[in-house]
Amino acid sequence: MRAPHAQQIKAPRIGVLVFGNPDPEPFLKALREELQKIGYTDGQNIRLEFRSARADASLLPKAAAELVGLKVDIIVTWQTQAAQMAKQTTNIIPIVMAGAGDPIGAGLITSLARPGGNVTGTGGLGGDLGGKLVDLIREVLPSAHRVGVLANTEAPYTKPFLASLLNAQRVNIEIQATMLRPGEEFSVAFANMQKSRVDAVIIQPSLLRKGIAELALNHRLPSFSQGRQFAASGGLMSYGPSFAELLRETAVYVDKILKGSKPADLPVAQPAKFDLVINLKTAKALGLTIPPSLIARADEVIE
């Protein structure tokens, strides 16, 4: 008589919900790598279920509902809108934010120390990100007096992001904001900024997409945003929370929850490390000389 097979242990399912803009592939790759470092391999002892709204907010409810319908054990979200939709869809499944701007103001948690409910993870944006980008512009372009800003009409973090930029006007820089939807055509906005003679452009992170850095370069506009991916794709400079650190923290939260911790008891982490990336190839194309002191402070210089 054949002996019965040993009962297979069911691998936990980790749902991943992203808004889909910017390109989520680097995020997914890094998440898999960080999970593997602490013992979780996709397809072996965990299963990742990925859903993207493809930069269309109207698709987020369906994407979140699909993950809840699969009865995943945890939902990892990237960007604030994805976290909000996950929370609206379930108050039972643990949700781990992999970066969310102002999670208290967005209604995701009650406090950083005691988030309450089923949401925890990492806040992804420093409150003064806009101001820091303006400071970088002043270092690179001391005579700059007008800065164009591309801001997202749909993102929950837009209001504090713009507020941090408007506060920077105290240093005699005029902020000229253009409100756009993620799926909108950006070329007209760049042409208008060029006509208005803006000295540089800041792009809100949730508007980043393929080709936007090239648009800025074609219009002779020094461009600034968050995330190494932006500078690597041709943006002049990026500054923001360390992407590697963000994903490392996210993997740790997943591990803790899989081992029995409750999201309500896990304090939300705030960014501790910020990376400055400078693209010298883009600087040369724009005819700019980056101060040696700024290059020395950079975490990465792309040549």
User: In this structure, is residue 8 part of a structural domain?
Assistant: no
Are 108 and 249 contained in the same domain? yes
* Statement: residue 7 has pLDDT above 50: no
Are 114 and 171 contained in the same domain? no
Write the pLDDT tens digit of every residue in 233-284: 999 999 998 989 999 999 999 999 999 999 999 999 998 889 999 999 999 9
Are 185 and 115 contained in the same domain? no
How crowded is the C-beta side of 241, counted as CA atoms within 13 Å?
A: 22
Write the pLDDT tens digit of every residue in 66-101: 999 999 999 999 988 999 999 999 999 999 999 887
Give the confidence band of 6 by pLDDT, cuts at 50, 70, 90: very low
Are 298 and 157 contained in the same domain? yes
* Statement: residue 127 has pLDDT above 60: no
CA 227 to mean position of chain CA atoms: 7
Domain count, the chain: 2
CA dihedral for 194, 195, 200, 201, sign (positive or negative): negative
DSSP letter, residue 23: -
Please, are residues 49 and 77 in contact by the beta-carbon 8 Å criterion?
A: no
Nearest alpha carbon to residue 50 among 34, 32, 35? 32
Distance CA 148, CA 24 (A): 26
Are 25 and 162 contained in the same domain? no
Give the confidence band of 168 by pLDDT, cuts at 50, 70, 90: low
Nearest alpha carbon to residue 233 among 214, 206, 207, 205? 214
Residue range of the domain that includes 66: 13-125+242-273
User: In this structure, is residue 262 part of a structural domain?
Assistant: yes
Are 266 and 283 contained in the same domain? no
Residue-level pLDDT at 125 = 62
Please, are residues 225 and 260 in contact by the beta-carbon 8 Å criterion?
A: no
Write the pLDDT tens digit of every residue in 42-70: 999 999 999 999 888 899 999 999 999 99
Distance CA 232, CA 213 (A): 9
How far, CA to CA in Å, does 21 sit from each of 176, 207, 209, 255? 23, 7, 6, 26
User: In this structure, is residue 4 part of a structural domain?
Assistant: no
Provide the whole-model pTM.
0.89
CATH of residue 201: 3.40.50.2300
Are 101 and 236 contained in the same domain? no
292 by Cβ neighbours in 10 Å (0-12 / 13-18 / 19+) ranks as: exposed
